[in-house]
Structure 1
């Protein structure tokens, strides 16, 4: 360890910054000391590696003990000034990911801290993996010295594919269509019959009452009250006639719909046209 430190200091004296940086990286891998991380931050700053330098100087400042002497105070102030200078060269992202999303990746680079991430100015893509296998992602553009909050949005859940029906071999006979539910045909027939019977009965009753009223019209009315009663009975007859017509129409329509359901195979589509109806069969 001491030999590596002496070699790193000698490389720095020769202004071989790249060699000094490599040696201090080896020292930090062997012993994660505050001195080593501070040296890495200073060397990366001189090499223009602003993102690495900002992260390293941030840890350096966090790990430095409070200054106890004037020399330590000057060193403390210098480290804070260096950190402030590097932060003006980079952008800062604060990532907010859905619960359980991990790890967070920025431009393909795995990051450890989602609270404060330093990146180069420009366009960046931030992603995270959700527990169900989906991705939460967001794209952001930042400028130097800017701090931006990034909210990761989960991808929509994939729709479950619908299984297609098995292919029928060429020349194989078509499968017969499944019959309609019997209860549907029985219910439609019964309802249609009820409407038709009701309409016929109302029509007969209204016809008999209408004939009686016509006979009554030939008789002279004794007073106004008789005329009012006559008009009320006439309105009642007209109402029965209207109900009879409506019941007959409803019964006929329901019967036709029931017949269509019974005759047309499953999958038939009836499309209305302006002057006709189109029946399209699909398998």
Structure 2
């Protein structure tokens, strides 16, 4: 008898346990009631959506989310920002939405779960993602003035963006990056704490002991040829002008010494003498230019690269280097 009673008790306990396990969700503990303020805002947001006033509905759901931080609220914000074309905000909100959603237990929940993931994928194609690597101790790290979280990831619109970080010593390091929408991988942005002005230069390649020093590269041959040609042209022009001016000056002096020259020809003689003087000045200038250009061409051809010429005058020093 005692054994029969124990069997009956165990069977009743098992039946009660199975009954409790298969209770429908309606018998589960109800969620905490919403405040009258939240209920009123939800009704107003639904009315705004019926009027196709998406911007007003978005503002109302933002107020709801400030009061009651729920998964439904963040998902609604993501959907509304997607409709408004606010892609960066939509991606951030929909990412949190799918992270907070519980695993689907019914076909309806599965459909909603897949819809939310599809909406997130569509929004991700409209933005780019940056991955910022900042030096140790840099804080805050900003992208266009927006704070980057500990993960270093942030979503941005297509285009150019400035990434900045404040160093512990007060310096600010910056970098500029240009991104396009729909990139498959996050764009890495490396902020360097070392100023460009003090970066050590790469050491020259080591030369084996006893090896002859490599001669410096000679200047371009075209430069020597061009300088020589220009110097020769100036010198030849100067010489020709000097000869012509000398002959004309001699002829003009002979003409002036003739007995038949009179005062009426004085004006013509002066004009011809002025023309002769101009030719002499031009010949002198051409000779000086040709000589200077020839000397410079010779110096470039003979002296090695890096040679310096120092000239001192009145306590001042002028240095030429090439």
TM-score, normalisation: structure 2: 0.48
State the alpha-carbon separation in 2 of the partners of residues 7 and 48 from structure 1: 22
Deviations 1:124-150 (A, max 9, x none): 110111111111221111110122011
Output aligned runs, 1:201-220, within 5 Å. none
CA RMSD of aligned residues (A): 2.7
Report how many aligned residue pairs link the two structures.
169
State the alpha-carbon separation in 2 of the partners of residues 28 and 273 from structure 1: 77
- Does residue 79 in structure 1 map to residue 116 in structure 2? yes
Matching residue of 1:19 = 56
Please give the secondary structure, in 1, of the residue aligned with 2:89. helix
Please give the secondary structure, in 1, of the residue aligned with 2:56. helix
Given candidates 153, 160, 173, the residue that maps to 2:192 is 153
- Does residue 124 in structure 1 map to residue 161 in structure 2? yes
- Does residue 101 in structure 1 map to residue 169 in structure 2? no
- Does residue 133 in structure 1 map to residue 170 in structure 2? yes
Would you say the 8 A contact 1:107–1:124 is kept in 2?
yes
1:17 Cα shift? 0.2
The gaps in structure 1 that reach 5 residues or longer are 160-271
Output aligned runs, 1:236-247, within 5 Å. none
- Does residue 32 in structure 1 map to residue 69 in structure 2? yes
Matching residue of 2:80 = 43
Matching residue of 1:65 = 102
Please give the secondary structure, in 2, of the residue aligned with 1:154. coil
The gaps in structure 2 that reach 5 residues or longer are 1-37, 199-307, 317-322
Please give the secondary structure, in 2, of the residue aligned with 1:150. strand
1:8 Cα shift? 0.8
Q: Relative to 1, partners in 2 of residues 1:75 and 1:276: Cα closer, same or farther, differing over 3 Å?
A: closer
Matching residue of 1:219 = none
Deviations 1:212-238 (A, max 9, x none): xxxxxxxxxxxxxxxxxxxxxxxxxxx
1:114 Cα shift? 4.2
Output aligned runs, 1:262-281, within 5 Å. none
Please give the secondary structure, in 1, of the residue aligned with 2:40. helix
Matching residue of 1:197 = none
Matching residue of 1:90 = 127
State the alpha-carbon separation in 2 of the partners of residues 51 and 91 from structure 1: 9
State the alpha-carbon separation in 1 of the partners of residues 310 and 161 from structure 2: 57
TM-score, normalisation: structure 1: 0.55
Would you say the 8 A contact 1:134–1:157 is kept in 2?
no
Please give the secondary structure, in 2, of the residue aligned with 1:153. coil
Q: Relative to 1, partners in 2 of residues 1:278 and 1:43: Cα closer, same or farther, differing over 3 Å?
A: same
1:111 Cα shift? 3.4
